[in-house]
Amino acid sequence: MTTRIGLIVAVAAVVAVAAFGGWYALIRDTSPPPVSLAEAVAALGTSTPATVGASGTATSTTAPSATAPATGEASSDASGMEGTWALVAADSFVGYRVREELANVGATTAVGRTSTVSGALNFDGAAITSVEIVADLRDLRSDDDRRDGQLRQQALESSQFPEASFVLAEPIALDGVPAEGDTVNAIATGDLTLHGVTNRVQIPVEGQFLAGNVVVVGSLEIVFADYGISQPRSMLLLSVDDRGVMELQLVFARG
């Protein structure tokens, strides 16, 4: 009898642990962390400097090891930074971060990103004079295909408004040519077009010149109503914030 009771208790304990594990897996926030310059630089450290081929497309390749020095055609000499820098899509992304509450799950952070991006920046030796970035929102990917599909038809309506873009409106003056590894903080003032609506915005950005590449990260709070974006509707979605964060990680190679 005692053995049977002990067995029942043991089974109940296993079931309880399994149930807790399933509950924890459902409600814990597994979204990727916000963009950071440190993370972007660390990720870039596993690749060789990007170069621009004959087609004008910036490419990068995987280095032999994360600890080996990066090599390639691009120079790590910051003294020759004047000119055009092309966006490296493989190392770049644009995305969103928004709080939502799901049925049977609870509050969580939805994060979607696309690496289908293109663009360039120009530097004249004293200031970044132009920047233009275009992202294809149809390729936004989160941790749930159902969310991705819904955003093509509602909210962002990326099937109807496939592109988001940012065009710099004011030069970003720099205190001299940045040295290798130095962090530059700036405000990028420009025109953000999203969901067919264009607004003048100011995006706080951080940048660094590293191993022949320019690495830039930034984020900006977006009030959905400012861009005519209606809240999505779904049986699983109980609520969603009226604003979110646009995130960007951009890597440029010498054009």
Q: For the domain that residue 246 is a member of, what is the CATH number?
A: 2.40.128.110
Residue 43 and residue 81 in one domain? yes
Residue 23 and residue 42 in one domain? no
DSSP 90: G
Residue 87 and residue 128 in one domain? yes
Q: Which pLDDT score, from 0 to 100, does residue 15 have? A: 39
SS3 124: coil
Give me the tens of pLDDT residue by residue for the chain, a chain 255 residues long.
555 544 444 444 433 333 333 333 334 457 899 999 999 999 887 554 444 443 344 544 333 322 233 333 344 455 578 999 999 999 999 999 998 787 766 788 999 999 999 999 999 999 999 999 999 999 999 998 988 999 999 999 999 999 999 999 999 999 888 888 899 999 999 999 999 999 999 999 999 999 889 999 999 999 999 999 998 776 676 677 889 999 999 999 997
Residue 136 and residue 225 in one domain? yes
Residue 204 CB neighbours (<10 A): 12
Assigned token pair, 226: 């400012």
Q: Which pLDDT score, from 0 to 100, does residue 209 have? A: 92
Q: Which pLDDT score, from 0 to 100, does residue 238 have? A: 67
Q: Which pLDDT score, from 0 to 100, does residue 231 have? A: 81
93 vs 88: CA distance, rounded Å? 9
Assigned token pair, 159: 């099937």
Q: Look up the domain containing 15 and give its range.
A: 1-30
Residue 26 CB neighbours (<10 A): 13
Residue 20 and residue 47 in one domain? no
196 vs 164: CA distance, rounded Å? 8
Residue 26 and residue 109 in one domain? no
48 vs 118: CA distance, rounded Å? 20
236 vs 116: CA distance, rounded Å? 28
- The total number of structural domains that make up the chain: 2
Residue 2 and residue 53 in one domain? no
Report pTM: 0.77
Q: How far is CA 145 from CA 96, 141, 142, in A?
A: 15, 7, 7
Residue 49 and residue 103 in one domain? yes
107 vs 100: CA distance, rounded Å? 6
27 vs 106: CA distance, rounded Å? 6
Residue 127 and residue 151 in one domain? yes
Residue 57 and residue 2 in one domain? no
125 vs 168: CA distance, rounded Å? 17
Closest by CA to 245, choosing from 85, 108, 52, 112, is 112
Residue 45 and residue 72 in one domain? yes
Q: Which pLDDT score, from 0 to 100, does residue 237 have? A: 65
